[in-house]
Amino acid sequence: MNASSTLRKRSLSVRTRSNGAASAVEGRTADDDAESLGEPVSPSARLVEEYFIVVVIGLGAPINQSSGRAGIGATIACYPRFHSIQATDKDGTLRWVRTTVDLDYHIIFPMLDTAAVLVNPDQAVEDYVASLSTKPMDHSRPMWEFHILDFPTSEATATAVIRVHHSLSDGTSLLMLLLSSTRSAADPSKPPALPPLPARTGAIYVRPRPPMSAGSLAFALWLWSFVLLAWHTMWDAAIFISTILFRKDTQTLFSCTDHGNRRPNRIVHRSLSLDDVKFVKDAMNCTVNDVLVGCTDAALSRYYYRKSGDNKTGKEIRLRSVLVVNLRATTALHAKNTVDRKKSSLEVAFTHVAAEVVHKIFGRKAGAYIVDRMFSNTTTLLSNMIGPVEQVEFCGHPVVFIAPSQYGLPQAINVNFNSYVNTVRVVLAVDETQFPDCHELLDDFVESLRIIKDAAEKHGSHDMKA
């Protein structure tokens, strides 16, 4: 890397927010700059104060400082939330306030131990990303950072680590913003090709009415679908409320053991074959997401029984995951069995509205309490995001892999999947104190997919003989 004086190198020393930083921009209060006041900060953006999205991107070429800086400035930094901070107006309303973006602050070239990088560059990157989870962000600046690690690892020539506060963007929005900043590697004049959108484009409660010629049975089934929707929604809402109040998951080695302190979160990842996942999907007549949920269940089970020595297979263990579902119409998340039923439920909309209503009526602390209890009383978070189906370039740099994750939730383990070209990247964010052997858990994901694929092959062979 040719690091010129334009982008200053510095160690990761991040200034924390002072008492007046929330209502001041470079010494000016929000009232002094009324023209820059934007819309109020949404309740959902205020509910999780220390929740950060982290995306690790492997690059296939050394960092080109000029093109990288220009690309980030022309795309990411121009996005409204990425040149705004939160400030309180004269009425006490927290609003987005536009401010100037200093790219020298947001693009960081950290100084790492040269010897450690030479001995094990993969470990150096992993350790650095883990260190970010213990560092706060300066609330007097837009809360996003690009950390550039310009040395080769086993998978990439260089690594970019994007850290963004959740109030600026959720995981799906951030990934779509990053993808909108990429170009097709085959033809840089074109945006990358993405998989086709799901068949469902409207709200879940929109059920097309069958034509009169379809008969009375079709009409009855149409009405019955609304009955199921109402029943599933009421049942799921009751489960959600009980989870907030008292219903906890079984205490296992996956449970968070330290809710009060911020311990380092280690983010590790491994690639799985998308072709293998699709083979299982076709053999079992399900979806890609169904396969990934099954793979997660199998991997966690393998790890649990190996580490705990618990061979009581009949023992009931409640281990639930918070499934991240995008409420926008552009993407969807599907799963099998339990999640199939969730498709016929308005639980997602209910939980979102409930949190915001409580926030508006009882204040931010009450809304944050609901979110904290939801995550504290469940075991993990599971998400799956769709990436490009072709090789892409980011600011002129070929992208080798994309590994999105997060930290800041009161959970000891989170599981994220992201597809890119012909691979699926499984990304784990774990409490490194509880999971010092997290790479073994990645091995369990690889082995679980292999076992599932073998079973699918046998299932297919059996069907052909039958």
Return the active site residues: 166
Per the rule left: phi > 0, alpha: psi between -120 and 50, beta: everything else, 215 is left
DSSP 297: H
For 414, residues 6+ apart whose C-beta sits below 8 A from its C-beta are 380, 381, 382, 405, 406, 407, 428, 429, 430
Alpha helices in 142-215 (DSSP H): 171-180
Q: In this structure, what are the phi and psi dihedrals at residue 214, rounded to the nearest 5 degrees? A: -75, -20
* Short-list 258, 267, 38, 257, CA closest to 133: 267
* Short-list 130, 128, 184, 125, CA closest to 158: 125
In angstroms, rounded to a whole number, what is the distance separating the alpha carbons of residues 382 and 417? 8
Strand 144-149 to 158-165 pairing? antiparallel
In angstroms, rounded to a whole number, what is the distance separating the alpha carbons of residues 266 and 39? 35
Note the Cα 147 to chain centre separation in Å.
18
In angstroms, rounded to a whole number, what is the distance separating the alpha carbons of residues 158 and 288? 30
Residue listed under structure tokens 């073994």: 440
Q: Please, what sign has the CA dihedral across residues 150, 154, 156, 157?
A: positive
